[in-house]
Structure 1
Amino acid sequence: MESIINCQLMRYLEDHQLISDRQYGFRRRRSAGDLLVYLTHRWAEAVESKGEALAVSLDIAKAFDRVWHKALLSKLPSYGLPEKLCNWITSFLAGRSIKVVVDGACSDYKPINAGVPQGCVLSPTLFLLHINDMLLTGNIHCYADDSTGDALYTGRPIFLGKTSPSTGTNLCLKSSLCWTKSRIGGD
């Protein structure tokens, strides 16, 4: 069932161009190599025109474990997904719990309000939906949870007006960190 839903959901998202073009992970006809070629081409163009290219790469630690259910579920209707599908995804994530066993001693079960199930074919798609709006801020490109923000300067303003690359990179970094803290948590 999950596989069928995932195939139809991804087809819908791709057909309607709802996943950011800056996301290369978990998508057909896109790879990490494609992202690297694109970014190195951008950077080479800036350098060849006597400019600068600065980049900051970030990785969200335990990214799939940090998908906050409430935030993800609140975004689903904005993609134009049918109410039945939104309800199915809500049910899919609901009622999950965890317990910890250390040296034979078990904790009580605790409800889980974050994370997408590991090993589930639907989890990468849910993760993409969760972080999709991060790619609207700054100049950030992703391969799944690995993101790269860059700032280019060629002597003519091509990023953030007349901002220097280091300032532009700092703005990308700050916007990514703000997004992460507000939607995923952590320091």
Structure 2
Amino acid sequence: MVNSRLLKHLQMNNLLNNTQSAYRKTTEGQLVYLAQELEDAYQEKKAKLVVFVDSTKAFDKVWKEGLLLKLLRKLVGGQTFCWIDDFLQYRTARVHLDGHISHRIRLQKGSITNSIFGLY
């Protein structure tokens, strides 16, 4: 629910880059755009540089304070901001190995991959 509300806010206020396909339900438009760009370059006998970025580990390394600052800059405030701030703070982890459980440690970076901030 939070993810859909946040995405709606970003889309309604035109706060997502048009060339960014992450966090949207389809990447089809990006593929059509890329194919057209490559075709145009081929027809004009020009080189076209394409860069693909794999962000699958991005959630493990997210800078929490930076993310919160970006949310404030995107005019996400009030209860939504407070909820996200609380969600990101005080995350802990522990290890289960051979029937033993370690002490909890506080995570300094990252977000939960399969959370409201995870990919579709």
Q: CA deviation at 1:24?
A: 1.3
| Offset at residue 61 of structure 1 (A) | 4.3
Could you tell me the percent identity over the aligned residues?
A: 29
- Measure how far apart 1:94 and its partner are: 1.4
Give me the whole-angstrom Cα distance separating, in 2, the residues matched to 1:81 and 1:36: 30
Q: Which amino acid aligns with 1:9?
A: L
Aligned to 1:157: none
RMSD: 2.1
Distance (whole Å) between structure 1 residues aligned to residue 74 and residue 66 of structure 2 = 14
Letter in 1 for 2:78: E
Q: Which structure 2 residues correspond to residues 84-163 of structure 1 after superposition, within 5 A? A: 84-120=79-115, 122-124=116-118
- Assess, with a 3 A threshold, how the Cα gap between structure 1 residues 61 and 117 changes in structure 2: closer, same or farther: closer
- What does residue 70 of structure 1 align with? 65
The number of equivalent residue pairs is 120
- Number of the residue aligned with 2:31: 36
What is the aligned partner in structure 1 of residue 13 from structure 2? Answer: 16
How much does 1:19 deviate?
Answer: 1.1
**Which amino acid in structure 2 is aligned with residue 53 of structure 1?**
K
Q: Deviations over 1:26-70 (max 9, x none)?
A: 225xx2232111112101101101211132322134222222212
- Residues 77 and 83, structure 1, Cα contact 8 Å, conserved in 2: no
TM-score by length of structure 2 reads 0.83
Write the deviation string for residues 100-133 of structure 1: whole angstroms up to 9, x where unpaired: 123334332111232222332x213xx7xxxxxx
The one-letter code of the counterpart of 1:6 is N
Unaligned runs of 5+ residues in structure 1 are 128-143, 145-187
State the alpha-carbon separation in 2 of the partners of residues 56 and 22 from structure 1.
Answer: 12
Q: Are 1:98 and 1:110, in contact at CA under 8 Å, matched by a contact in 2?
A: yes
Which 4+ residue blocks in structure 1 deviate beyond 3 angstroms?
none
Per residue, is there more strand in 1 or in 2? 1
1:70/1:113 contact within 8 Å kept: no
One-letter amino acid matched to 1:107: S
